[in-house]
Amino acid sequence: MEDVIRSLGFLCLGSRLKRIGEQLQADTQRVLDRLDVPVQSSQYPLLAALDRLGALPVGELAQALGIAQPGVTRSVALLAELGLVEVSQSNNDQRRRIVSLTRNGRRLVDVAKRDVWPRIEKAVADLCADLSGPLLDQLAAIEDGLAAAPIDRRVEKAGAVVQ
């Protein structure tokens, strides 16, 4: 069957990029599930931002991630339920909520930085290694590469997934 989004080229570029992003997140989620990590792949950027930038108000965290504040608020609530982040009131402004990693959150990020993120980054780099030429051809190569070997299989191929 014809891949309509692919065949419409630049007209559907946003839909195509979204599809690739969803595929990458789904593949990454399978890696995380095998490791019994209680976090969704879409929440790791939030944990990474807190690791890199330290405690942040919700609004600044949303800005650092380039996503809408309501989405960050929902993710923060889920991560707080898991005991990975804590939310406290700002000393200067009681309306501002400051998000920070908990001890368990720090531990999870440290393990991810050591054992998980490098494998996923290597798998994605491998997927993109031979890309050159026009953008639409590169996207086709990424889509074909993901169809042939999803990220979770590339992670396994690069080395045993840490248990």
Q: What is the pLDDT of residues 140-154, one digit of tens each?
A: 999 999 899 998 888
Provide the domain limits for residue 76: 4-162
Res. 82 pLDDT band, cuts 50 70 90: very high
Predicted pLDDT of residue 162: 46
What percentage of residues in the chain have a pLDDT greater than 90?
68
Predicted pLDDT of residue 91: 80
Residue type at 64 in one-letter notation: A
111-139 average pLDDT score: 89
pTM, full prediction: 0.82
Total domains present in the chain? 1
Predicted pLDDT of residue 163: 44
- List CB contacts of 5: < 8 A, sequence separation 6 or more: 12, 15, 16, 19
Tokens of 97: 């909520």
Res. 159 pLDDT band, cuts 50 70 90: low
- List CB contacts of 56: < 8 A, sequence separation 6 or more: 49, 50, 64, 98, 99, 100
CATH number (domain holding residue 137): 1.10.10.10
